[in-house]
Amino acid sequence: MLTTIAERLKSISIQEKDNLSEACNCIQRSSAKSGRGLSTGEKVDFFVSQQFFPSTLGLNFQEYHENESDFKISGQPVSFKTLRDGGDLAMCWSRNDDKRNTRIIKECNHWQVPILIYVRESKKWWKNGPQKDWLTKNKIPKDEKKWWTNEVGAGFYLIDHVEARSKIILDENNKTGCLLKKMDVYRLIMYSKKNNLFVPMPEPKGKFSEMKFVFLDSDGNKYGE
């Protein structure tokens, strides 16, 4: 199942992968200029799920929203997440639904489907490794720190939800009760890479300088023309 999804992603042409990398880089820079950096992930999610995957995967792509799924690839439901580089990852925004009482936590059915994490830029997430394990608060042994300093390459990391369900404990913050901590994101993507469930992506070089919105009516005519 996971291998089938990974192979389908690997079959996307290098030109299309390069275009995705450049488009997401443009989204990132445009969001930063507008002062709306927190919406970058949402814009990338929308672009990938509504334009990139439908056009590059064709009949192997299907929009689908059940059990935290965002779409199907080759008939398999998948939850999509994106990060520019290292950081925590919200499984869902479980405290955003009720604006009158953000303490109420929405139930999230996490770890029900595979997760596809798109890391947009290559980077080492720690220079010398983390000091302590976020959960146990135990110091990271010196002989283990080197493992934490591997560069995380740009690309798609397919996460085995069954494996994660048995090993990962989620944290919480003021936005969600289902927070995947940076250390655990790293653990999962390293496991993904080890098991050939990683699809590398080109590094962005700034090909696209500007992002614009285009509105089309039911006849395909552009608004304003």
Q: How many domains does the chain have?
A: 1
Q: Report if residue 163 sits inside a domain.
A: yes
pLDDT of 21-36, one tens digit each?
999 999 988 876 655 5
Structure tokens at 29: 């820079």
207 inside domain: no
The one-digit pLDDT tens for each residue of the chain (225 residues) are 899 999 999 999 999 999 999 999 999 888 766 555 457 888 899 999 999 999 999 999 999 998 889 999 999 999 999 999 999 998 876 555 555 555 555 567 789 999 999 999 999 999 999 999 999 999 999 999 999 999 999 999 999 999 898 889 999 887 787 899 999 999 999 999 999 999 999 999 989 888 877 777 888 887 765
- Look at residues 151, 199, 159, 202 and name the one whose alpha carbon lies nearest to residue 180: 159
What does R_g of the chain's alpha carbons equal in angstroms? Answer: 18
Assigned domain for 219 exists: no
Give me the CATH number covering residue 135: 3.40.600
- What whole-number distance in Å separates Cα of residue 214 and Cα of residue 191? 40
pTM for this structure?
0.88
Residue with tokens 């919200």: 90
Q: Please say whether the beta carbons of 118 and 48 come within 8 A.
A: yes
Domain that holds residue 23: 2-200
Residue 209 lies in a domain: no
Residue 217 domain-assigned (yes or no): no
- Dist CA 59 CA 88 (whole Å): 33
Q: Is residue 220 part of a domain?
A: no
Residue 117 lies in a domain: yes
Let me know if residue 206 belongs to a domain: no
